[in-house]
Amino acid sequence: MSDPDVPVEFLALHGLAVRKAGSPATVASLLGADEAQIAAALDAAVAEGRAAGAKGTYMVAPAGQAWLIEQYPVVYAEAREDGELTAAYERFEKVNTELLALFTDWQTMDAGGQRVPNDHSDADYDRGIIDRLGRLHERAERVVGACADAQPRLRRHLERLEEAYDKVLAGDIDYVSGVRIDSYHTVWFELHEDLLRMLGRTRQE
Amino acid sequence: MTSTTQQADRIIVLDGTSLPGRELIGGKAWSIARMTGLGLRVPPAFVIPISECIRYHEAGKTIDDDLWDSVMDGVRSIESATGRRFGDPHSPLLVSVRSGAAISMPGMMDTVLNLGITDEVEHGLAHITGDAIYARDTHARFCHQFGDVVLKAHLDPYASGSTAADMRALVLEDVGESIPEDPYSQLRAAISAVFDSWTSARARSYRKHWGISDEGGTAVTVQAMVFGNLGDESGTGVLFTRNPLNGEATPYGEWLPGGQGDDVVGGTHAVLDLSALEAAMPTVHEELLTWAKTLEDEHREVQDVEFTVEAGTLYLLQTRTAKRSPDAAVRIATDLVSEGFIDSATAVMRVTPEQVASVLLPTLAPEALIDATPVAVGEAACPGIAIGIGVVDPDEAERRAHAGEDIVLVRPTTSPNDVHGMIAAVAVVTDLGGSTSHAAVVTRALGRPSVVGVGDGVAEGLEGQLLTVDGAAGRVYQGALPLQATTIEDHPALSPLAAWASEHCPIDIVAQHDSDILDLDVERIGVDPETGRVDQEAVTQALLANALPVRGSVLNTTEGVRALLASGTSLVIADPPLPLQLRVLQATKE
């Protein structure tokens, strides 16, 4: 699903930069690209001094970050002028605000006007939030779908969100906002970073 | 009443004369029936039982005429109990519609409030309440909620100042369908939407994941709305039967004179405490305390009671188990034992290991705060105290943390690129963002104290300094402030709880042991170094292969406890034992 007009050496480094570090498999999974192609591109990036790698794990080198920052306005020149994509991005930000509030409600609860950690003792409270996540996921499908109409590769993020949501629904509640795994928040955070880099926007928080 | 008893099989009026099972009428209606059965006043309501949902689907998603006649009878029963009429602008009855399955599940239709409002009723309400803004807002909120919940329009969150006409236009544009302007059509559509939600994709998917049968359905509860804004002797509030912050056995609550329910819950208005209600309406206040006590005694657990006073008459809207701080949780559990409401085996099930850990967290010594001036103040994003050196670069933070230093990551903002640095750090401070920022979400998931939104450029200015971060207060101090530890032995609630946990826990868990032990932390068993996830099978195998007493932080996880139980391990070392004992007790209950 990678866009034919975006060179793979750029795309592989971009995918790596979104996650900061990772294996060819994780980068390929994030991009929805072919793992062997990504591995080759990452090795080439190491040879160029744009990435560093050890034991199958790669990191973007400072020179690679600088190169990406140069490349973004060129590679995504059209995307940045695409009114439908930027409009979809604005809607994305609205869903983002609601989702972050949801993650906060998941992690904390109101006890007499003060936020305290959610002890997950109230199954109805938790189910209510998972229900809200489902409804927001439906909105995310529309918004990310609209982004992917302009940049097909972004559809992969939607699949990853779906995978996280499915795990939550099946009872693996770490997949709401866990950090070291591809939780709904982890994937959303990466999607957000991906869009910010593509569109040349600055993070507001 | 005679007209409703004839239709008793199709709807049930929740007047306290009977308490049908939760599996017949769903949790919401059951809770109303239970309150009315205790002699407490709740807004009049009726329920369409779960069996009707099954019939509705069998009939190809139609509400048959007999059922609709019964619903009309139900509406008339509410009309006669309230003295108001559905759709009558001079004395309007508004109702809420809620779903209620035997087991609550995602995907079911949410609540719709204020059904029965129309343009004429809006004008009537403005006249009756003397508050045209309230009437307009109620109508607009209804259209937003009906559009969102019943017609499935994708709408942005409600913004005050909207009008019903705005919302109608947005909904029509999005789904090509109009919000009914006739109260009975609104009610009929809402009932169908509740029944339809039983077969929504999310509800079906949830049932499939959990092996719940697709047979069955959801009940529909229809209840009168009461008005907290009907003159001087009206208002709305929340009462906790005990203080949810410190656990003290004194009622605690909020009172908003002239407010409607959502105003308190949503925190949109400044609220008063309950003494203001006592001063204004002493008999209502006394009735409220008596009723709340009745509910606490009945549930044998602290209750969070939502109430509305309409023209001097008290109504209870909802009661549920109160959410509480970790300090309150341990105190309430032990107090309820000494008051004779629960036994010690129940008490240990009501406190989580995380709550105990939180109570045991060190706090800043009060005398140290007298002279200390914070170098940064922001939003408290994750509670806890941590002391370390400020570092901006996440790679440097990770490197120095691995070399053994305590690092506070100080960043303008955080991106996925910073997560490894946040994992390595003992605390996080950011310039931008509020309590719902990505940084706040990640630090809470990691349990790292954090302060966010300290102001442009402030966090980086802390680079290289030794810092004390107070994540609960949202403050950062220079230097290492003295800390004050809490111990189980000295804590009035934790020490009896620890004794009960030792008594009930099926595995011997002790703080110290002299002979040889298997230390899973030293042996690096059970945790995937890359993902940090626990490998339950690896822990189980290690425990089975070894007869020695065992210790290890990995045991204090859901998977670790499952491994302990599966391997039949008899002696575990954990200091203090209490959190692990509670985790084992909760796992054995499951």
| pLDDT tens digits, B96-122 | 999 998 887 888 888 899 999 999 999
B383 — contact with chain A (CB < 8 Å)? Answer: yes
- Quote the distance between the C-alpha of residue B110 and its chain's center: 16
With 80 as the cut, is the pLDDT of residue B265 above it?
Answer: no
Place of tokens 């620890």: B498
Neighbours of B543 (CB within 10 A): 25
Interface contact A119-B254, CB threshold 8 A: no
Residues B184, B115 contacting (CB under 8 angstroms): no
Residues B299 and B342 sit within 8 Å (Cβ to Cβ)? no
Residuewise pLDDT in 10s, chain A (205 residues)? 445 578 899 999 999 999 888 999 999 999 999 999 999 999 999 999 999 987 788 999 999 999 999 999 999 999 999 999 999 999 999 999 999 999 999 999 988 888 888 988 788 889 889 989 998 998 899 999 999 999 999 999 999 999 999 999 888 899 999 998 899 999 999 999 999 999 999 887 6
Amino acid letter, B539: V
Q: Is the pLDDT of residue B79 over 80?
A: yes
CA distance B198 to A75: 47
Q: Report helix angle A184-199 to A8-19, nearest 10.
A: 130
Selection from B206, B217, B209 nearest residue B102 by Cα: B217
B270 to chain A: nearest residue by CA?
A: A113
Q: Do A103 and B441 touch (CB under 8 A)?
A: yes
Chain B residues in contact with A128 by the CB 8 A cut-off are: 104
Distance from CA of A126 to the nearest CA of B (A): 10
pLDDT at B262: 56
Structure tokens at B363: 């706090």
Residue B244, chain A, CB below 8 Å: the answer is: yes
Using DSSP's 3-state secondary structure scheme, residue B227 falls into coil
Per the structure block, which two tokens stand in for A80?
């940045």
Residues B445-471, mean pLDDT to the nearest whole number: 95
Residues from chain B contacting residue A108 (CB–CB below 8 Å)? 444
Q: Does B258 or B274 have the greater pLDDT score?
A: B274
Contacts of B354 in chain A (CB under 8 A): 117, 119
Q: Do you find a cis peptide bond into B576, omega within 30 degrees of 0? A: yes
Of B128-132, B473-477, B563-567, minimum mean pLDDT range: B128-132
Question: What region, left, alpha or beta, does residue B366 occupy, with left being phi > 0 and alpha being psi -120 to 50 degrees?
Answer: alpha
Dihedral sign, Cα of residue B563, residue B569, residue B570, residue B572:
negative
Which helix (DSSP H) or strand (DSSP E) does residue B386 occupy?
strand B385-391
Which residues lie across from B185 on neighbouring strands? none
pLDDT of residue B317: 94
C-beta atoms of B419 and A20 within 8 A: yes
- Kindly identify which residue of chain A lies nearest to residue B355, measuring between CA atoms: A119
CA-based end-to-end distance of chain A: 31
Residues of B in contact with A113 (CB under 8 A): 254, 267
Q: Which parts of B87-217 are beta strand (E)?
A: 92-93, 95-101, 112-115
Chain B residues within 8 A of A145 when measuring between CB atoms: none
**Per the structure block, which two tokens stand in for B365?**
């010594």
pLDDT of residue B527: 85
Residue A75 corresponds to which amino acid?
Answer: V
In the numeric block, which tokens belong to residue A126? 């938790």
Which residues, in sequence order, are CB contacts of B195 under 8 Å at separation 6+? B52, B53, B56, B57, B61, B217, B218, B220
In this prediction, residues B345-352 reach a mean pLDDT of 95
Per-residue burial over B246-273, b if 16 or more Cβ lie within 10 Å, else e, is ebeeebbbbbbbbbbbebbeeeeeebbe
Where would I find the beta strands (DSSP E) of B190-302? 218-224, 235-240, 252-257, 272-273
Tell me the two tokens of residue A203.
Answer: 């993070």
In this predicted complex, what is the ipTM? 0.91
Average pLDDT over residues B427-450: 93
Paired residues of B386 in beta bridges = B469
Q: Helices A184-199 and B438-446, interaxial angle, to 10°? A: 150
| Out of A77-91, B477-491, B524-538, least confident range | B524-538
Which tokens hold the place of B432? 């931008």
**B208 → chain A, closest CA residue:** A170
Chain B residue nearest residue A191, CA to CA: B416
pLDDT at residue A1, rounded to an integer: 41
Q: Which CATH architecture has domain B363-484?
A: 3-Layer(bba) Sandwich (3.50)
Domain boundaries, chain A: 8-75, 79-199
Q: Label residue B164 by pLDDT band (50, 70, 90).
A: very high
Q: Above pLDDT 90, what percent of chain B?
A: 75
- The DSSP letter of residue B405 is -
Angle (CA) B348 B350 B354, round 5°: 90
Nearest CA to A188 out of B575, B3, B445, B153 is that of B445
Q: Between residues B516 and B584, which one has the greater pLDDT?
A: B584
Nearest to B3 by CA among B66, B52, B70: B70
The kind and range of the H/E element at B558 are helix B558-567
Domain B235-321: which topology?
D-amino Acid Aminotransferase; Chain A, domain 1 (3.30.470)
Cα–Cα distance between B305 and B535 in angstroms, integer? 43
* Tens of pLDDT, residues B191-250: 999 999 999 888 898 898 888 889 899 999 999 999 988 888 999 999 999 999 999 999
pLDDT score of B2 more than 60: no
Token pair in block for residue A49: 């001094």
Instruction: Give dist(CA B170, CA B235) in Å, integer.
Output: 32
Q: How confident is the model at residue A77, as a pLDDT?
A: 94
> Domain residue spans in chain B?
2-118+182-224, 235-321, 363-484, 494-589
Q: Using a CB-CB distance cutoff of 8 angstroms, which residues of chain A are in contact with residue B416?
A: 18-20, 186, 189-190, 193
**Cα distance from A81 to chain B (closest Cα, Å)?**
25
Pick the CATH number of A8-75 from 1.10.10.60, 1.10.580.10, 1.10.10.10, 3.40.1170.10: 1.10.10.10
Q: DSSP letter string over chain A?
A: ---TTS-HHHHHHHHHHHHSEE-HHHHHHHHT--HHHHHHHHHHHHHHTSEEEETTEEEE-HHHHHHHHHHHHHHTHHHHH-HHHHHHHHHHHHHHHHHHHHHHHHHEEEETTEEEE--S--HHHHHHHHHHHHHHHHHHHHHHHHHHHHSGGGHHHHHHHHHHHHHHHTT-THHHH-SSS--HHHHHHHHHHHHHHHHTPPP--
pLDDT band at B270 (very low <50, low <70, confident <90, very high): low
B16 falls in which pLDDT band (50, 70, 90)? confident
**Is residue B122 a contact partner of residue B220, using CB atoms and an 8 Å limit?**
no
Do B527 and B554 touch, CB atoms closer than 8 A?
yes
In whole angstroms, what is the distance from residue B66 CA to residue B72 CA?
A: 10
How high does pLDDT run on average in chain B?
91
The fold of the B2-118+182-224 domain, in CATH, is Dna Ligase; domain 1 (3.30.1490)
Rounded to the nearest 10 degrees, the angle between the axes of helix B578-589 and helix B494-504 is 50
> CA geometry: angle at B9 spanning B23 and B85, to 5°?
100
| H helical segments located in B146-200 | 164-175, 183-197
B528: helix, strand or coil = coil
* Three-class secondary structure of residue B276 per DSSP: helix
Query: Which pair of tokens denotes residue B417?
Result: 């690129």
